[in-house]
Amino acid sequence: DVKVTQSSRYLVKRTGEKVFLECVQDMDHENMFWYRQDPGLGLRLIYFSYDVKMKEKGDIPEGYSVSREKKERFSLILESASTNQTSMYLCASSLFRGANEKLFFGSGTQLSVL
């Protein structure tokens, strides 16, 4: 079975800190995604990538950047964390562009920015 691993389950950071959220998948998937989940808002797409060194903006990219140097790893970066970025962050992966198959999700990182 596909495994999507997020490096931290809980994270507490200070306002203004640079924050890295790491995600690794083990099934050679081409597509990777970062979502944030907030109560009453569901999941919203931040960034996604179809291949190494490729990135595309999602619906709410402001305040975030991403890095995909290796196929299996997709990092989300908060350049200067703010309190409104306190949220649950979910990483996901899927086969390849055009497959229209399901996304596999990690267990999420609950980030608190104080």
Partner 1 sequence: AQTVTQSQPEMSVQEAETVTLSCTYDTSENNYYLFWYKQPPSRQMILVIRQEAYKQQNATENRFSVNFQKAAKSFSLKISDSQLGDTAMYFCAFMANFGNEKLTFGTGTRLTIIP
Binding site for partner 1 (CB under 8 A): 31, 33, 35, 40-45, 48, 50, 58, 88, 90, 92, 94, 97-100, 102-103, 105, 107-108
Query: Which structure tokens are listed for 72?
Result: 């299996």
Write down the least CB distance from residue 80 to partner 1, Å: 26
Write down the least CB distance from residue 77 to partner 1, Å: 20
Of the pair 18, 42, the CB lying nearest partner 1 is at: 42
CA 39 → CA 1, 16, 36, 53, 94, distances in Å? 29, 24, 10, 32, 25
Write down the least CB distance from residue 78 to partner 1, Å: 20
Of the pair 38, 79, the CB lying nearest partner 1 is at: 38
Say if residues 76 and 89 touch (Cβ distance below 8 Å): yes
Of the pair 42, 62, the CB lying nearest partner 1 is at: 42
Say if residues 89 and 7 touch (Cβ distance below 8 Å): no
Picking from 26, 11, 25, the residue whose alpha carbon sits closest to that of residue 34 is 25
